[in-house]
Amino acid sequence: MARLVAADVPDGAYVNLGIGIPELVAQFVPDGREVIFQTENGLLGMGPAPVLGTEDPELINAGKKAVTAISGAAYFHHADSFAMIRGGHIDICVLGAMQVSAEGDLANWSTGEADAIPAVGGAMDLVAGVKKIFILTEHTTKAGEPKIVACCTYPLTGKAVVDRIYTNLAIIDVTAEGLAVREVAPGVSFAEVQEKTGAKLTDERQIPKTSGVNKDL
Amino acid sequence: MARLVAADVPDGAYVNLGIGIPELVAQFVPDGREVIFQTENGLLGMGPAPVLGTEDPELINAGKKAVTAISGAAYFHHADSFAMIRGGHIDICVLGAMQVSAEGDLANWSTGEADAIPAVGGAMDLVAGVKKIFILTEHTTKAGEPKIVACCTYPLTGKAVVDRIYTNLAIIDVTAEGLAVREVAPGVSFAEVQEKTGAKLTDERQIPKTSGVNKDL
Amino acid sequence: MINKRAASVAAAVADIHDGATVMIGGFGEAGSPIELIHALIDHGARNLTVVSNNTGSGRVGLAALIANGQVAKMICSYPRSTNSMVFPELYRKGCIQLELVPQGTLAERIRAGGAGIPAFFTATSVGTVLAKGKELRSFSDRDYVMEYGLRADFALVKAEKADRHGNLVYNKTARNFGPIMCMAARTAIVQAKEFVEVAGIDPENVVTPGIFVSRVVVVAQPAQESQLVKEGRCYP
Amino acid sequence: MINKRAASVAAAVADIHDGATVMIGGFGEAGSPIELIHALIDHGARNLTVVSNNTGSGRVGLAALIANGQVAKMICSYPRSTNSMVFPELYRKGCIQLELVPQGTLAERIRAGGAGIPAFFTATSVGTVLAKGKELRSFSDRDYVMEYGLRADFALVKAEKADRHGNLVYNKTARNFGPIMCMAARTAIVQAKEFVEVAGIDPENVVTPGIFVSRVVVVAQPAQESQLVKEGRCYP
């Protein structure tokens, strides 16, 4: 999945990767493309994990893991970092999801349970400010419940913010007309994707897959 | 006059000097005091004018004159510079005046004439944001009209912003009870100061001159 | 002569009063001023409102300050992380208040406080529970919430180098909240690894100009939170 | 591979369209991107709204752009200075519009535009004619006016060094509006004295990260406005 996302990131894009699975996208940037990764804790030009033993506890990513800085990187403070995010300067943000709705609402920060410790971090800033929001997630929960739903039941991270969803079963665009399946995984049928989805899908596999996404970045 | 202002600037103060006569204050800082001058175009730690022939057109003050930077100076962009000013971080600003009212209103940017080119620069930001506003001015206009008036007739730079006025005749504090004369120039009487002033003054020369000004900086 | 150097971490935090609002720098352990926080624990000021992105981990640093019962309220974006149990426990018991703020809004509120801006509008959190009760307003057909500038009585910040004017540079991503917290606090207290001559920082490279800093104390070899947690350390 | 270097000043400004809003850096001559402005004169785009602190001097640079009839409106704080006659003359004739903005409000509006903030409150200008018609609001018993974020289609900025990513450093007080104008413009066009390898700027010392910059053109020996004015030069 991370490889499919990476294939849709154009040369020269500025990209923020959410904590967890989305971080894997950095490993799959196709040869010949230069993509600049931002981490909201204050670094543009984040490089791969450091060689074991050379970690610097003061050079970390938003997931608080040790990283490196590429040549041409820049450090900045938090207000400048979020000015970058909230001012619409980042091209793509790849995030995980608990639920995504047919309208592109995203829930990925809280189960809303009474005794949960609420913790939001930068998720609401990213979905409000970044030009394109890509979701990278398993198609269903571990219990088999759909994550793509008509209406989110968990507290929202943002309303109508998601542009595209990459799952283990399909690539789905959030369009003004609803959820449009652009691609399905090998051996998976459109019917199966629909069955495991809590919202109506349309089959738009004939449209070339990169059509609507990259051209206006 | 500039010497009297400088005497009231405490050690360690951060000071912004307006264009023109106020710039002279920097030359009269008493020995043993370290005062840091800010210029709103982006320098904290402004030093004296450079030696002739060593001017750098990219190292100037708000009056667009060549200056130098002291050891321990810092350069920053305009939004950071005005954050410093508007956020209340500068202790004292010394400005010229066209008119000052009994309530401390200041007019120093425009005559309000119909065909004048209006130009405000940073004056309104300085009076709104700096902790103490000192005015350094001739007591009257060249035509002999009072500059200290009951009510300004020129367009205001700010309302109720002036703390103290230094003129060739007197040092006057703007207090909740009105204008209080703290000191008169040698050979000048209180009556003469009052005569050349367009607002009521009270004679409070018995009160030690630095009483109300420096202690809370 | 200006010399903002304080003799010790204890002297640097001595005037933090009960009920003070204290901003504490750091994103996780990066930039966390552990020695200043420990001095604040020794000092004992209580009923504090603390503004910090996280709530600390293990039983050292910010987590220890909270465990010691000195913090009445946290204003933060992410009070949950690996090895964070002190805050969750007290929060579930109702012993500590929480104002949860999106990370960018938190940063912008601190910067606004330091820049003399009482309030501003942002698209972040619109349509979510964190916008509940907040003023909504539309500009060019998009909705925004109004957020308030945030100031503090004190800031505790970790820097890499400082001079006697209080000019600072930071180390890599440990910069995070330091510069804006120095701006937003009436008294910014900084622990720096190194104290340099005033000519020791190029004016082009100063990150925090000294005007925003009240005190500097040298902590040449600051502890790393993750290391202390790994060793199972507790403070005090 | 990312390479933002443009072949010439002409190529760098080629897509500036009639009616565009263009931010132009500089405080007086310090930081004024004269060569880019002259390229814009050659290019000929008209009916521009220009955001710049001043209005230029003599008959070169920004003053020449105005004299050439390309600017419909100026948004600035100080359209009057020694050797400034072009703007005053056109303004008195009613041939050019002026939106006068206090300098700090201008800077903050540009920064807000770049940071995604549609509006904010400031104490600057309260009680003056520049607050006329603006929304007033009280916070903690003090009055503030609401000001709007400012964006632009293009910014023309002068820097000292740039790399192929568009990372920038500036020279002394020529930094002024450059960093915030790069943030607020959809297309930021930079003339730099020197083009360096990507490793040539320490990541700790980058002032404008490349994300805010679209194009860089090298002008190794930029003209100084005051020198051109002294020589009585006119452009074109």
The DSSP code sequence of C127-172 is TSGGGTTSPEEEETTEEEEEEE---EEEEEEEEEEE-TT--EE--G
Q: Round to whole Å and give the CA distance between D213 and D155.
A: 9
Q: Are C31 and A64 in contact (CB under 8 A)?
A: no
> In chain A, how many H helices and how many E strands?
5, 13
pLDDT higher at A215 or B77: B77
Instruction: Count CB-CB contacts under 10 A for residue B2.
Output: 18
Question: Which residues does D36 contact at the CB level (< 8 Å), separation at least 6?
Answer: D9, D12, D13, D156, D158, D189, D191, D217, D219
Query: Mutation test of the interface with chain B: which of C2, C150, C169, choosing the one with the most B Cβ atoms within 10 A?
Result: C2
Q: Round to whole Å and give the CA distance between D5 and B28.
A: 49
**Residue-level pLDDT at A114:** 78
**Residue-level pLDDT at C86:** 95
Q: Round to whole Å and give the CA distance between D16 and D14.
A: 6
Q: Round to whole Å and give the CA distance between C76 and C27.
A: 11
Domain coordinates of chain D in residue numbers? 18-117+150-230
Query: Could you report the per-residue pLDDT of B115-167, keeping only the tens digit for each?
Result: 788 999 999 999 999 999 999 999 999 999 999 999 999 999 999 999 999 99
Of B59, B83, B86, the CB nearest to D173: B59
Closest CA to D217 of D66, D68, D10: D10
**Residue-level pLDDT at B116:** 84
Residue with the two structure tokens 């020695």: C35
Question: The sheet that has B170-175: what strands, in order across it?
Answer: B68-75, B43-47, B36-39, B14-17, B92-95, B132-136, B164-166, B170-175, B178-184, B201-203
User: Which residues of A fall within a CB distance of 8 Å from D1?
Assistant: 11, 34
Nearest-neighbour CA in chain D from B77: distance (Å)? 5
**Residue-level pLDDT at C67:** 97
Whether A40 is catalytic is yes
**Residue-level pLDDT at A111:** 86
Residue of A nearest to C179 (CA): A77
User: Which residues of A fall within a CB distance of 8 Å from C75?
Assistant: none
Q: H helices within chain D, ranges in order?
A: 9-12, 34-43, 61-67, 86-92, 103-115, 178-184, 225-230
**Residue-level pLDDT at B207:** 55
**Residue-level pLDDT at B217:** 40
Give the pLDDT band (50/70/90) at residue A95: very high
Four-way CATH pick for A2-203: 3.30.930.10, 3.30.830.10, 3.40.50.2300, 3.40.1080.10:
3.40.1080.10
Write out the two tokens for A179.
């959820």
- Asked if pLDDT for residue D208 goes beyond 90, the answer is yes
CA angle C207, D107, C148 (to 5 degrees): 80
Bridge partners (DSSP) of residue B148 are: B100
Query: Mutation test of the interface with chain D: which of C110, C121, C125, C138, choosing the one with the most D Cβ atoms within 10 A?
Result: C121
Give Cα separations from B176 to A103, B102, B173, D225 (angstroms).
59, 10, 10, 48
Pair type for strands B43-47 and B36-39: antiparallel
**Residue-level pLDDT at A211:** 44
How many Cβ pairs closer than 8 A exist between chain C and D?
52
C164 in contact with B, Cβ within 8 Å: yes
Query: Could you report the per-residue pLDDT of A128-168, keeping only the tens digit for each?
Result: 999 999 999 999 999 999 999 999 999 999 999 999 999 99
- The model's pTM: 0.97
**Residue-level pLDDT at D82:** 77
Closest CA to A99 of A19, A24, A155: A155
10 Å CB burial of residue C200 (0-12, 13-18, 19+) is middle
Nearest-neighbour CA in chain D from A83: distance (Å)? 4
Give the pLDDT band (50/70/90) at residue A215: very low
**Residue-level pLDDT at A160:** 97
Give the pLDDT band (50/70/90) at residue B111: confident
CB contact under 8 A, B83 and C164: no
pLDDT > 70: percent of chain A: 95
Q: Round to whole Å and give the CA distance between B3 and B168.
A: 11
Q: Are C65 and C50 in contact (CB under 8 A)?
A: yes
- Asked if pLDDT for residue A208 goes beyond 60, the answer is no
- What region, left, alpha or beta, does residue A104 occupy, with left being phi > 0 and alpha being psi -120 to 50 degrees? left
Kindly indicate whether the domain formed by C18-117+150-230 is annotated with CATH number 3.40.190.10: no
Write out the two tokens for C229.
């947690």
CA angle B82, B83, B89 (to 5 degrees): 100
Q: What is the pLDDT along chain C (236 residues), one digit of tens a residue?
A: 899 999 999 999 999 999 999 999 999 999 999 999 999 999 999 999 999 999 999 999 999 999 999 999 999 999 987 788 999 999 999 999 999 999 999 999 999 999 999 999 999 999 999 999 999 999 999 999 999 999 999 999 999 999 999 999 999 999 999 999 999 999 999 999 999 999 999 999 999 999 999 999 999 999 999 999 999 999 99
Query: Could you report the per-residue pLDDT of B11-68, keeping only the tens digit for each?
Result: 999 999 999 889 999 999 999 999 999 999 999 999 999 999 999 999 999 999 999 9
**DSSP annotation string for A65-91:** -B-EEEEEEEE--HHHHHHHHHTT---
**Residue-level pLDDT at A1:** 86
Residue range D67-96: mean pLDDT, rounded: 93
| Amino acid sitting at position B80 | D
CB contact under 8 A, C175 and A115: no
List chains adjacent to chain C, taking adjacency as at least 3 C-beta pairs closer than 8 Å.
Answer: A, B, D
| Amino acid sitting at position C13 | V
Q: Round to whole Å and give the CA distance between D203 and A206.
A: 45
Q: Round to whole Å and give the CA distance between D145 and B128.
A: 12
Question: Which residues does C221 contact at the CB level (< 8 Å), separation at least 6?
Answer: C193
Query: Mutation test of the interface with chain B: which of C206, C207, C216, choosing the one with the most B Cβ atoms within 10 A?
Result: C206
Instruction: Count CB-CB contacts under 10 A for residue B183.
Output: 16
C109 in contact with B, Cβ within 8 Å: no
- Asked if pLDDT for residue A93 goes beyond 90, the answer is yes
Residue range B87-91: mean pLDDT, rounded: 98
Q: Round to whole Å and give the CA distance between D66 and C170.
A: 43
List chains adjacent to chain B, taking adjacency as at least 3 C-beta pairs closer than 8 Å.
Answer: C, D
Calculate the average pLDDT of chain B.
93
Question: Which residues does C64 contact at the CB level (< 8 Å), separation at least 6?
Answer: C37, C38, C41, C56, C86, C234, C235, C236
- Asked if pLDDT for residue D171 goes beyond 70, the answer is yes
- Asked if pLDDT for residue B208 goes beyond 70, the answer is no
SS3 B30: coil
* Complex confidence, ipTM: 0.96
